[in-house]
Amino acid sequence: MVLFDIDWFKSVNDRFGHPVGDRTLIELTHRVAAILREADQFGRWGGEEFLVLAAHTDLRGATVLAERIRRAVADAPFPGVGPVSVSLGVAEMRFGWTLAMLTERADAALYEAKATGRDRVVVAPA
């Protein structure tokens, strides 16, 4: 699982307005969807937070995917906004875990990514 959040998104809405914020969300979804496989599930988790369930992917593969997402967002400016970055948390499903447990681990990794400087990938400990 890759859980990610647009860094400082509130300031995008405050500075440029909600229509530009909405276009930023749409642009981000296009960039991310372009690098995902057909088997992967991707959606908005809430606000400026997104979730990818990478099918048949181990922790290493999910970490590589998270870094690809980070670069796809950061490598080109967003129209009307400029540079945008994301912070990402990665966690791997373990036997006996519920989806809530997996999400909690990914969310903790995301929180660490934001707390340690943003624009980075943090992997939840195994």
The catalytic residue among 27, 38, 48, 104 is 48
CA distances from 52 to 18, 19, 82, 126 (A): 25, 25, 24, 19
**Tokens read off for 36:** 């995902």
CA distances from 105 to 43, 44, 70, 76 (A): 18, 18, 19, 30
Q: Please confirm, yes or no, whether 92 is among the known catalytic residues.
A: no
Cβ 108 vs Cβ 5: under 8 Å: no
Catalytic residues: 48
